[in-house]
Structure 1
Amino acid sequence: MTSAIVFDIDGTLANTPAAIAELIGDVVRGLGASPGRSQVLATVGKPLEASLAGLLGVAVDDAATAEAAARYRARFATDVLSQGPALLLPGVPEGLDRLRAAGHLLGIATSKISAGALALLKATGVVDRFDTVVCHDMVERGKPHPDMALRALADLGASPAESWYVGDTVTDMAMARAAALRTVGVSYGVDSAAALTAAGADHVVTDFPSVIRVLLHETTVTSPDHAGPRPEPTGALS
């Protein structure tokens, strides 16, 4: 079996968490909820319907959840995807190209559903860099369970012991560890370096070029003692 590198998207490849949180907050406030900022930020990177239901205080199968999801997805296209390649974090296209040139197979394992993940990867111009894209709606159990990571490895014919997962959240690290993958946590996304380290990340880095250096064995373990700079929000959403 060969090796592979599997990535999260939001907060790892794309600077979307701030924009997503603002959009989620706006949608649920429009339906009568009044969550705090920390409550909304905590939903980023998690399945949409469950997050919306929690913020609205209703069941996942409630009509209000379906309405909120429809509003979110309609505005995601106009308010977020319209920013195109500018959503990518610095060094992402070049880094992915270096990994592919070195012979690595690349995959995605994301809590987004398939339509949203593919739309974002296409809008940012990197969809063709990936050999498989595994989403929340393609497996029985989402993060932190190992199902998505294992599906990606199976698609790629890759060995967990020789492969990596790169993500920005504690649930990313939990999924990867459950699938026996080595891990790189990025502290510029949702969760802090300390949280990623506590979740078992093998490496914690502060920018995407450092991710590539770790994966290509050009550097040793990066100190997780500080969270590093976080990207600025991708712009206000109306």
Structure 2
Amino acid sequence: MSDKAFIFDMDGVIIDSEHIHAVTKVQAVRSFGVDVSEADLDLRSYVGRSAKSFFSDMIAKYPELGDDWEVLAKRKHELYQRILREDAGLKPIAGIPELLARLKAKGYRIGLGSSSVMANIQLVLNRFGIMDYFDAIAAGSEVEHAKPEPDVYLLAARRLGVATENCTVIEDAGAGVMAAKAAGMRCIAIRNPNSGAQDLSRADMIIDSYEEIVL
């Protein structure tokens, strides 16, 4: 077993899905009777953060949504999963399958630490045929504190059996970079235009393509 690991975020890193999250968040809020637009919800500030963070804030802003963020999140996840199942055009971000293959060939442990729920993670990885590359998965729904806190990356490292200082995280969001650094891990940030203007300055390396990662 390798003593080194790469841990991937999912949204914006493996799947270019921020537009799907945006659409389904708006649809979820609207389905509870509140007429909103993407601009009303300040969605860019929630990139990389959990459904709990987003819907808790929405309840505070729109009391007519009720008082249970989990009900809203459940509706959003249903809408998100429907798109993942039905959109035949969805593909992994360019270079991801090749990078995973290179990491596996070099003997690295491979993990995933996402703010998403486990059902969404499994659906994405299985849909793209890359589940078998991953030695451990940690979902945001399994930890107490969401990114930018380090909880999900610490859980992934524990499940991989790799010391945090030997883990490299791949992120596309400022909150995720902060989480990785708070966990004591190296962080490579990939610029994803669809993730908005993210502050990636704390990352150890910033790239525009996975081909830039030299193993």
- TM-score, normalisation: structure 2: 0.86
Residues 63-103 of structure 1 show CA distances to partners (whole Å, capped at 9, x for unaligned) of: 56444323222221221343368331111111101110011
Q: Which residue of 2 aligns with 1:206?
A: 208
Residues in 2 aligned to 1:105 and 1:94: alpha-carbon distance in whole angstroms: 15
Distance 1:53 1:35, change over 3 A: farther
Q: Which residue of 2 aligns with 1:143?
A: 147
Contact 2:172-2:190 within 8 A present in 1 as well: yes
CA displacement at 1:160 relative to structure 2: 2.1
Contact 2:49-2:148 within 8 A present in 1 as well: no
1:190 aligns to 2:195 (yes or no): yes
1:102 aligns to 2:106 (yes or no): yes
Report SS of the residue matched to 1:144.
coil
Residues 112-165 of structure 1 show CA distances to partners (whole Å, capped at 9, x for unaligned) of: 122221122112221111000001122222212222211111211212222201
Q: Which residue of 1 aligns with 2:122?
A: 118
Residues in 1 aligned to 2:134 and 2:48: alpha-carbon distance in whole angstroms: 20
CA displacement at 1:108 relative to structure 2: 0.4
Report SS of the residue matched to 1:42.
helix
RMSD of Structure 2 on Structure 1 (CA): 2.3
Q: Percent identity?
A: 23
Residues in 2 aligned to 1:196 and 1:169: alpha-carbon distance in whole angstroms: 7
Contact 2:44-2:196 within 8 A present in 1 as well: no
Q: Which residue of 1 aligns with 2:23?
A: 22
Distance 1:41 1:29, change over 3 A: farther
Counting only pairs closer than 5 Å after superposition, residues 1-238 of structure 1 correspond to structure 2 as 2-31=3-32, 32-37=34-39, 39-56=42-59, 57-58=61-62, 62=66, 65-83=69-87, 86-188=90-192, 189-192=194-197, 195-197=199-201, 200-210=202-212, 213-214=213-214, 216=215
Q: What code does the residue aligned with 1:190 have?
A: S
Q: What code does the residue aligned with 1:100 have?
A: K
Q: Which residue of 2 aligns with 1:226?
A: none
Residues 178-230 of structure 1 show CA distances to partners (whole Å, capped at 9, x for unaligned) of: 1111110111152546x101xx10101112322xx24x1xxxxxxxxxxxxxx
